[in-house]
Amino acid sequence: MKIGFIGTGGISEAMIRGMVGHAGHRDPILISRRSAKRSARLAEDFQNVTVLDHNQELVDQSDWVVLAILPGQAEGVIRELKFRPSHTVISLVAGLELESLSEQLAPAQEICRLIPLPPIEYGVGPIPLFPCLEKVAEFLGHLGTVIPVDDESCFTVFSASSALMANFFESTAWQARWMEEQGVPPDEAARYASSFTAGLTALTTRSDAEQLQALSRECLTVGGLNEHVLNESLQAEWFDRIRLPLDQVLARLRPDV
């Protein structure tokens, strides 16, 4: 099975590195020459990765095609391509809904949407998939936690929620910076902050919906340190302040609602 990537940005690179380096995928992977340095690096690192100059050539030679292009460029790029009925097309394009994809990608029939995040390179993290094509879900199961989605509006909420990623990284970096300000050597502060985050994240991945909501309360003791920081954060409406930008992102992804 040949998989082609139209668009070779950071997420494409993370997926390819996860496919080859983590999941051991050895079948041919074709990538477009967009982001020339990145595509050249991937071809140098992996023997089964080939760079092609023309998108149509890539489509013609692929069984599966991954659309990893910016929303503003997607329709223009797709308009120039011709697909086969046998193609499986996986779209990473934010905001481009299935109905529109189906019209633009015809006669391709197997079409789905995907939200990969950078940790896919290491075989971890959520992978929302809509609709849940069984063979795609099975393939992606080696690259993280596949979340089958039946309702496209829910898929859009997942997409908006992924905009918290930079906040997550900044929170961990801020914790390390704060410790440095208190005199902790930078390497030790970074090691503690990253391990702190990874350890707590491990607890969340083992929790169901009810347990997840209870985790913060379980950390608390009356008059304790965690209670002090959480109460101060709640009083400052720290969490509520995130709601407005998330609502704004969701509105961008649902322009017709």
Confidence of residue 217 (pLDDT cuts 50, 70, 90): confident
Q: Place 255 in a pLDDT band, splitting at 50, 70 and 90.
A: low
* Burial of 210 from C-beta contacts in 10 A (0-12 / 13-18 / 19+): exposed
Which pLDDT score is estimated for 196?
95
Read off the pLDDT band of 39 (50, 70, 90). very high
Strands 110-114 and 126-130: antiparallel
Is residue 75 pLDDT above 60, yes or no? yes
How does residue 52 score in pLDDT terms, banded at 50, 70 and 90?
A: very high
* For residue 257, pLDDT beyond 60: no
169-211 residue pLDDT tens: 999 999 999 999 999 999 999 999 999 999 999 889 888 989 9
Give the pLDDT of residue 115: 96
Predicted local confidence at residue 222, as pLDDT: 82
**Contact assessment for residue 128 and residue 155, using Cβ atoms and an 8 Å cutoff:** yes
Residue 33 has what pLDDT? 84
Mean pLDDT for 56-69 is: 97
- Residue 162 pLDDT greater than 70, yes or no: yes
- Mean pLDDT within 112-128: 95
Which pLDDT score is estimated for 7?
Answer: 93
Alpha carbons 226 and 39: distance in angstroms, whole number: 46
Residues 78-82: what's their mean pLDDT?
Answer: 95
pLDDT tier for residue 155 given thresholds of 50, 70 and 90: very high
Please state, in angstroms and rounded to a whole number, the distance separating the CA atoms of residues 191 and 186.
Answer: 8
pLDDT of residue 256: 66
pLDDT of 85 over the 70 cut: yes
Ordered by where they begin, the domains of the chain are 3-150 (3.40.50.720), 163-253 (1.10.3730)
